[in-house]
Amino acid sequence: MRRLFLACCLGACATAPAERGKEPARVAKKKVTKLHFAPTVIVAHVPKPAQPDKAPDPLQGLEARELDERARLAAAGGRWEEALRAWNRVLAGYPDSLERSFALFGSADALQNLGRCLEALPRLAEFMDGLDPSEDPEDYVDALFRKGVCTAEKRDYGAVEEIFRELLEDFAMPTEMTIAAHISLGVSLFMQGQLAAAETQLAAGLSLYRARQAQEFLEVQYYLGQAHFYLGEADRARFRQVDLGRTETADEMANRLDDKCDHLLAAQKHYVQGIYARHRGWATASAHQVGTMYDDLYQHIQGIPMPSDLTPLQQELYREELTKKTVILLKKAMRTWSAGLDFATRTGTDNQWVRKTRERLKTIKETYLSDYLRPKQAEQALQAQILAEKEGRVLEGLGLPRVQPGPSGIAWVTHEGGDFQMGRNYGPAVERPMHTVRVRGFQISRTEITVTQYKACVQDGLCSEPDSGYA
């Protein structure tokens, strides 16, 4: 019954109407238009650093005549890169213009001044092809001379000889160019091993300079320095040919040594004149070669075989005496090279000769130390030891205690006792009359001594205690 009652109650609850809540107010619906877009892709770009605006080309749009004028102005001011650009523009853009011939020669001149001589040769050749030497002798000579200078950089000395012979034999040239042609011809002959012919041409250039220098202003320092340098080189070649080792007698050795030294002095004279020519490059080269000759002579003498009949001890003494006699050559080389480096420093010169000199000077200083200075110092120490022993024996003979070397390191000189005349029979009264004084033997330091040495001498028992007031 209880279960039936519960079931009836549940059924009544399920069918009972529930209380409705209030219905919310209706919201008016708006019509929404949906738009569809294509997907957006975002790409990040790294900003480039700001660059300065490119300068406009000052040669753009200029005619051949205007380009040539710009090039000439730049060349007159020594702005060779700027001049070369303008003339190159003429050659590239106006191949049929009248200015092309000017541009060929001008650009060759610019290249030569920029140290690009080999690039100038084809331009000079094309320029000369358009000239008639009989109608334009000045331009032809100028171009041919420059061709000779640039050909020398190719080391084609046979061609260089032909060029300068043609100039000297077929054309009249200004004095400066004639001097330069003689000297350039001489250098080309020297490079081909024709020493006598080279010296003739070099001397001709120098003679012409001396004959005209009073009447004309001749700015040929480069060629003067070059001429003296190669005259020195000719004598240095003869100097090197004299072999002191190929001798059998002392007289033959002496004669060969005289010949070698004569060539050395002749070469040195030319090198010194090369220094006085006031061209920095040839001056440093000449100074280097002077020092080199002295060093070469020293090394050559040191390498001469010793007489075969000497004992080992005699050979050692022979070598020591030989070094003492010839070390002056090393000193001369060091002085010359040091002076050359000082000159280079003062003038701001730095070239291959300066670098060679610096290396050779470093080497020769080591030679001087090892061959002469260190052995000399060892010899001096040995002689000092022998002298100390001798002084010790003298002291013993005088009945005085023999001085033994101690930590003081003082070198003693011994004076024997005896009678001495002191004073004089004229002059101040304190010095009159002359009289005899007997002095005991005594010792005195050979050099000034320091306080430390004196204290060490006292500790050794060789010196007395200082008097009162000694600091």
- When pLDDT is averaged across residues 412-416 and rounded to a whole number, the result is 68
Amino acid 12: pLDDT: 44
Amino acid 470: pLDDT: 45
Who has greater pLDDT, 41 or 462?
Answer: 462
Contact 353, 284 (CB under 8 A): yes
Q: Which of 218, 164, 219 is nearest to 190 (CA)?
A: 164
Who has greater pLDDT, 117 or 3?
Answer: 117
Tens-place pLDDT, residues 177-195: 999 999 999 999 999 999 9
Q: Which of 432, 433, 434, 395 is nearest to 416 (CA)?
A: 395
Residue 428 reports pLDDT greater than 60: yes
Which residues are CB-contacts of 223 (< 8 A; sequence separation ≥ 6)?
A: 179, 180, 183, 184, 205
> What rounded mean pLDDT belongs to the chain?
81
Tens-place pLDDT, residues 358-384: 888 888 888 877 777 777 776 676 676
CB-CB neighbours of 21 under 10 Å: 6
When pLDDT is cut at 50, 70 and 90, the band that residue 102 belongs to is very high
Alpha-carbon torsion 67, 70, 74, 77, what sign? Answer: positive
Q: How far apart are CA 237 and CA 195, in angstroms?
A: 9
**Structural domains for the chain:** 64-302 (1.25.40.10), 403-464 (no CATH)
**Which pair of structure tokens corresponds to residue 212?**
């005209």
CB burial of residue 98 (10 Å; 0-12, 13-18, 19+): exposed
Residue 385 reports pLDDT greater than 70: no
- When pLDDT is averaged across residues 423-447 and rounded to a whole number, the result is 73
Residue 294 reports pLDDT greater than 80: yes
Tens-place pLDDT, residues 302-347: 888 877 777 888 877 877 777 777 888 888 888 888 888 888 888 8
Residue 88 reports pLDDT greater than 90: yes
**Which pair of structure tokens corresponds to residue 117?**
């001589």
Residue 471 reports pLDDT greater than 50: no
CB burial of residue 111 (10 Å; 0-12, 13-18, 19+): buried
Q: Which of 280, 277, 243 is nearest to 259 (CA)?
A: 243
Residue reference for tokens 């001709």: 204
Predicted TM-score of the model (pTM): 0.66
Q: Concatenated DSSP letters for 387-405? A: HHHHHHHHHHHTTPPPPPP
Which pairs count as long-range contacts for 69-74, CB under 8 Å and 24+ apart, including other chains? 71/103, 71/106, 72/106
